[in-house]
Structure 1
Amino acid sequence: MPRMRSAKQQLKQYLQSPQWREHLDEITAGGAAHVGPLFSFLLLGPQTMHRAATALGLTTARLAEREPEAARNIIRRFMWHMNEESGNIGWGIPEAFGESLAASPLLAKDFHRVLASYIIDLGRDDNYCDNDLLRRSCYWAIGRLAQARPELCVAARPWLRKGLEDKDVICRGMAAWALGRLPPDLMDAPALRRLADAGHDESCELFDGDRIYEKSVSGLAREALERVVPAGTA
């Protein structure tokens, strides 16, 4: 047991180090043995959580190359944590889900529709995440997958566009950020322009692959709109 605690503490130190990315090969080489500790780090502060999600995603992707069913079981574990019946809130789970699919073509192919389902509100018999705080992470996770595999997220575009009018203002900004990761589409412009002009200065927390940074809701909409309609062309 002391040895296990020591290993977990070492992983935590790696992730909280400024040079954390230099340790990713060592972390992912631990395979299934490191999955549990990385799960527990998803409950830590935003920066450590995102770094743990990155490490867990890469670990899961590497495992998928050798033991695909074991990797699928990790994704199913994410899905269980997102299920209200599990009794969990799911903090950090969408981020880890998105990172795993971004890192693994196999897992992305199998589970990208599940990830998108968390923002699809059909009114009944759906998988929609109705926790506002957690749904913010779902939008981010879809955007993260879109960075790596945009072709798998195009079908989510109408729901991301709908997210620009989400009841939660921060969700609107996260939806705008995710739309900005997809190939430009003029159909996005009207909704993005409305949000850009709304003057929402609430801050969204985003992760740039290393650190947390903040952008305003309307600022993210303006950035996404700029990709669709470059300045001087409208």
Structure 2
Amino acid sequence: MARMRTTKQHLKQLLQGARWRDHLEEIAAGGMSSVGPLFSFLLLGPRTMHRAAAILGATVARLARDEPEAARTVIRRFMWHMNEESGNIGWGIPDAFAECLAASPSLAETYHRILISYIMDLGHDDNFCDNDVLRRSCFWAVGRLAQARPDLCAAARPWLIRGLEDADSLCRGMAAWALGQLPPELMDAPALRRLAQSGNGDVCEIYEDDHIREARVDDLARAALARDKARDG
């Protein structure tokens, strides 16, 4: 038990250091012994949580290559934490789920529909995330996967568009950011334009390049529109 606490504290120090990426392969090589501590770090502050999610992604991608069933066990653990029956609120889980799928082509192919399902409100018998705060992470997660594997996220587009009118203001901003990670599509412009012109000054926290940046909801919509125009030429 004492050795486990020491290992966990060591990993935490590496994760919170400025050169944390230098240790990514070392931690990932720990396989399942690294997974438990990294899971616990998902409950820490935003930057540490995202770093833990990124290293979980590298760790699980390595497991998917060398120990496929172990990798699937981790993904099933994510799914259980996102299930209301688990009694948990899955803080950090969508973020880690997305990083794993971004890092592993085989896991992405198998599980991308599950990740997207957390923003799909079908009205019944669905995986839609009812917790507004956690749902913001679900939108971010879809955007993160879209950065790495846009082809697998095409089916998320109509649900991201619906997210622009989410009951939660910050979910609307995160949906706009996520749409901006997909290839341009002209049908997105009207909904994005409405949000861009809404005057919504609520502030989202976006994790990018190991930084947490703050951005207004309407600014995120304008940025998505600008990226579409730039990519359209």
Counterpart of 1:182 in structure 2 is 182
After the TM superposition, which residues 75-94 of structure 1 pair with which residues of structure 2 at under 5 Å, given as runs?
75-94=75-94
Counterpart of 2:7 in structure 1 is 7
Q: Secondary structure at the match of 1:127?
A: coil
| Residue correspondences, number | 232
The structural deviation recorded for 1:229 is 2.8
After the TM superposition, which residues 219-234 of structure 1 pair with which residues of structure 2 at under 5 Å, given as runs?
219-230=219-230
Counterpart of 1:138 in structure 2 is 138
State the AA in 1 paired with 2:63.
L
Q: Describe the superposition over 1:147-189 as per-residue Cα deviations: whole angstroms up to 9, x where unpaired.
A: 0000000111000000000000000010001100000001100
The structural deviation recorded for 1:11 is 0.5
The structural deviation recorded for 1:69 is 1.3
Q: Secondary structure at the match of 2:201?
A: coil
Q: Describe the superposition over 1:32-87 as per-residue Cα deviations: whole angstroms up to 9, x where unpaired.
A: 00000000000001110000011111100110001111101100100000000000
Give percent identity, aligned residues only. Answer: 70
Counterparts of 1:85 and 1:209, CA distance in 2: 34
What runs of 5+ residues in structure 2 fail to find an aligned partner?
none
Counterpart of 1:166 in structure 2 is 166
State the AA in 2 paired with 1:13.
Q
State the AA in 1 paired with 2:158.
P
Counterparts of 1:184 and 1:146, CA distance in 2: 12
Q: Describe the superposition over 1:191-226 as per-residue Cα deviations: whole angstroms up to 9, x where unpaired.
A: 000000111111111111312111111111000011
Counterpart of 1:147 in structure 2 is 147
Normalised by the length of structure 2, the TM-score is 0.97
8 Å Cα contact 1:14/1:23 also seen in 2: yes
The structural deviation recorded for 1:17 is 0.6
The structural deviation recorded for 1:230 is 4.4
Counterparts of 1:105 and 1:230, CA distance in 2: 28
Counterparts of 1:229 and 1:212, CA distance in 2: 26
After the TM superposition, which residues 1-234 of structure 1 pair with which residues of structure 2 at under 5 Å, given as runs?
1-230=1-230
State the AA in 1 paired with 2:54.
T
8 Å Cα contact 1:189/1:229 also seen in 2: no
Q: Secondary structure at the match of 1:9?
A: helix
The structural deviation recorded for 1:91 is 0.2
Counterparts of 2:21 and 2:13, CA distance in 1: 12
Counterparts of 1:42 and 1:51, CA distance in 2: 9
Q: Secondary structure at the match of 1:70?
A: helix
Q: Describe the superposition over 1:100-147 as per-residue Cα deviations: whole angstroms up to 9, x where unpaired.
A: 000000000000000000000011111100100000000000000000
Counterparts of 1:158 and 1:13, CA distance in 2: 41
What runs of 5+ residues in structure 1 fail to find an aligned partner?
none
Counterparts of 2:188 and 2:153, CA distance in 1: 15
Counterparts of 1:157 and 1:26, CA distance in 2: 37
State the AA in 1 paired with 2:146.
A
